[in-house]
Amino acid sequence: MGSMSIWHWLIILITLAPMFPIGQVLKKAGFSPWWALLYMVPIFNLVALFVFAYSKWPNRA
């Protein structure tokens, strides 16, 4: 097997790039930013989306 080309690294970067902004939104909403890892797992990302959408959100003062 050869080394990874620049295109492989670019695809990995594009795939993993949304994890940081998703983590920031989750942190503002009161969730752990580690939930952003679930967006990479096919069925669990939908479950996490429903948990995030229908859970009780903290009140802003």
What's the pLDDT tens digit per position in 10-27? 999 999 999 999 999 888
Residue 1 lies in a domain: no
Closest CA to 31 of 61, 3, 58: 58
pTM: 0.70
Banded model confidence at residue 52, pLDDT cuts 50, 70, 90: confident
Cβ atoms within 10 Å, residue 36: 22
Residue 33 lies in a domain: yes
Residue 42 lies in a domain: yes
- Which residues constitute the domain of residue 28? 6-54
Tokens of 26: 């989750």
Residue 10 lies in a domain: yes
Residue 61 lies in a domain: no
pLDDT score of 44 more than 80? yes
What's the structural domain count of the chain?
A: 1
